[in-house]
Chain A
Amino acid sequence: MLDFAPTEEQEEIRKLAQSIALDHLRPHARKAEAERDSSTELRLTLAQTGLTTPFPEEYGGSGPLEAVTYTLIAEELAYGDPGLALNIIGSLMGPLTVWLAGSREQQERYLPPFGDPTSGYLQRGSLAFAERSGSYTLADVHLQARRTGEGYLLNGTKRDVVHGQRADLRVVLARLAESESAEGQLCAFVLHGVQEGLSIQDEEEKLGLQAAPSATYHFHQAQLPAEALLGEAGSSGAVRAATLYQILRAAIACGTARAAFEYCSAYARERIAFGRPIVSYQGIAFIIAEMAMKLDAARLLTWRAACSWDRGEADETLIYEAESAQHQAVKMAQAATTDAIQVMGGAGFMQDHPAEMWMRDAAAME
């Protein structure tokens, strides 16, 4: 039955995430941008909340992830800072993909380090999704995997891999093709024990989202062992992981837009021009009204995809809904952050305010 209210429990988790975002993310956003990473203290703080270990308790996690709940969390984190939110979620996608796509044996091997109560927060995961086009749509995943006698041979490029350079657990999305010409099934591989054929390049100068360090992978006849394939070829684990990433990226976009919307609203309420707060002019008020409306629209689209993910809808439905949400939310966030600067005028352009950073962050999302 149609319902648009989070449960009480979800509301509590959302509030917790919001307080973390306001107390620990927003104040450190500029520092994280300059240092191109989160601090160890922040990661420890987050680990203590249990928000960063949403996988089964038997592996030391705080309980399996629900997409709707985590969508609420992701929006709050991005409301604190989009770059740090992506830093956190990008890392999380490594163990989550193992949980969603891996065999029991693979889960037992790769998940416990992330759930370790004393050192888990130092672990970094990563999921390589985007390729040359930079887009996070599955139709643009072409990295080729071919079966050989001993395992798999990978050829192609991945970019924008959050934590790609320093991850303890690297997972990549690829197409397992039976022949050279066919576009194969979506699969996830763990890059473990890759001896040669893989070069990793730091992406140093980015337009935005610098707080989420990323790398490019080049595969040239890279040989992977047979156990590198997570789960079985053709199972929907890889699709569930990929669509989850898309849904959470949509939530990050919503959080970014909300940060910009609230920030410029507060500014427009205080700023006086011609004797009145500028928000009392329809020319400004309508821009902000439009922002609020389009943010709500994109958020609802994101929630719908998350609901379908939790219900375990068919792959085709999930892909359509997750990609729609991501596309619309990112587009909306780009417009909202740009308009926020416009509302603030010259001040919006200055680094004294975070609006210019959010506009660059939103532009870097797709």
Chain B
Amino acid sequence: MIDFTLSKAQQAARDYAHQVALEEMRPISLECDRTEEIPESFFWNMQRRYWGGAAAQARAYGQDEGVRQENLLSVISQEEMAWGDAALATAIPGPGLAAPPILSQGTPEQQARFLSIYMDGQLHWGALALTEPGIGSDVAGMSTTAVLDGDEWVINGHKHYITNGARADLIVTFATIDKRLGREGIRPFVVPKGTPGLIVGRIEKKMGLRASQTAELIFDNCRIPKENLLAGRGEKKAGFKAAMGTLDATRPMVGSLAVGIARAAYEAACEWLREELPAGYPPQKRRAWEEELKELGQEIEMARFLVWRAAWMADRRIPNSKEASMSKAYAGALVMKATATAVRITAPGEESERKLLIQKWFRDAKVFDIFEGTAQIQRLVIARRLFPTIDIP
């Protein structure tokens, strides 16, 4: 039955994440952005809170409700965290982007072996290495190679723009086992931190999400055990599917981060208009801004619903490529509009923490139109799903 109300577990997840955003993220947001560093205490606080009462309560409600809702719970809480600080949200300890391919393509033994690392109460991260200097969305053109040598895979190549790449304990790395096979030759491998031949290159300087670590990784005859290939169920396109399946799960999450930033900017602009608009400002201009913000508020709701729907489909195991791309494309454009509007509306104001945050969100926003597939790639995915019999190059 169509329903837009949150269940107890969903409300608890939202409330927990909002509290985290308010207490752990907002207070250090500007400083982390400035220094491009995150204090160790933040990681430990997040770890403590994850195993603490509020999060446990949310998980318990989730168990009670007896339906799969991990994707929905995740997008609901991600929106709140991004409302706090999207860069910090990407740095929370845990398997992160490494989890979806391990879950979808790993055997039960592999899932247990790799994911148990994250359960010991210490600080661990995961990463996903897909992008290369020469390829972004066109994963079929990948040049990182994996060659089987005895009981080991030997990986050679160059990956970049890897979130948490330098601190990740496990890096799910996509490489081709045979370039002639195109995308059918692509396989996911789990590369542990500290493997000889795995070299961390430079850490990028970015326009926004500056506190989020974006690393370059070089694989120079990097040898990993044969058992670290996530072989799926032996399907021919397993590796490519893993890459794409990962995107179907992560695009709504990226969408939810975008919604969170958009909402933060929208709320800050509304507050500024209420509290700080200089006296004597032309009333017709104020009304025009109020109209603009009203429109923005409605668009934020639509973006959120697109995200929720895509996540709900993922939970129900309904194929959701098209809907995942819609949520990401819509939210990515919206966060740009929302943050730009907030910058413009608050322009006449004195410098304040609120204004600095708005400026930070404006810088953070742009990448949401780019990573996990650019706005153009999302439209291509939508169009190909709408017209499955037509070749849209």
Q: Which residues of A contact B (CB under 8 A)?
A: 1-7, 10, 68, 265, 269, 277, 279-280, 282, 285-286, 288-290, 292-294, 296-298, 300-301, 303-304, 306-308, 311, 324, 327-328
Contacts and interface: CB of A to CB of B under 8 A. Distances in A.
Interface stretch (B108-116, B125-133, B160-168, B385-393): B385-393
A304 B303 CA distance: 13
A4 B315 CA distance: 12
B279 interface: no
Given A2-B3, A304-B4, A307-B2, 6 more contacts: A2-B5, A280-B392, A285-B379, A289-B386, A292-B326, A307-B3
Q: Which 4 pairs of residues, A with B, have the shortest CB-CB distance?
A: A1-B7, A285-B383, A300-B305, A289-B382
B199 interface: no
B380 A282 contact: yes
Contacts of A293: 306, 326, 329-330, 382
Contacts of B309: 4, 296, 300
11 contacts: A2-B5, A3-B312, A269-B390, A280-B393, A282-B383, A288-B386, A293-B306, A293-B326, A296-B309, A296-B326, A301-B302
Contacts of B177: none
Contacts of B4: 2, 303-304, 307-308
Interface in B310-345: 312-313, 322-323, 326, 329-330
A3 B1 contact: yes
A63 to B, nearest CB: 17
Contacts of A300: 302, 305-306, 309
B387 A328 contact: no
B376 interface: yes
B298 interface: yes
Contacts, number: 116
Interface in B1-16: 1-7, 10
A301 B390 contact: no
B181 interface: no
A270 to B, nearest CB: 11
B65 interface: yes
A282 B392 contact: yes
Given A279-B390, A297-B306, A297-B330, A2 B72 contact: yes
A288 B6 CA distance: 32
Interface residues of A, dominant DSSP: helix
Nearest to B329: A293
Interface of B: 1-7, 10, 65, 67, 69, 72, 298-299, 301-303, 305-306, 308-309, 312-313, 322-323, 326, 329-330, 376, 378-380, 382-383, 386-387, 390-393
A304 B301 CA distance: 10
A324 B4 CA distance: 15
A3 B379 contact: no
Contacts of A303: 2, 4
A301 B3 contact: no
A233 B143 CA distance: 74
Contact of B312 (A2, A10, A311): A2
B10 A1 contact: yes
Given A1-B7, A1-B65, A296-B306, A286 B390 contact: no
A289 B2 contact: no
B382 A279 contact: no
Contacts of A265: 386-387
Given A3-B312, A280-B392, A328-B298, A285 B380 contact: yes
Nearest to B382: A289
Contacts of B10: 1-2
Contacts of A285: 379-380, 383, 387, 392
A297 B302 contact: yes
A325 B10 CA distance: 24
B67 A289 contact: no
A2 B326 CA distance: 19
A297 B305 contact: yes
Given A289-B382, A293-B326, A293-B382, A68 B301 contact: no
Contacts of A10: 2
B42 to A, nearest CB: 30
A13 B12 CA distance: 35
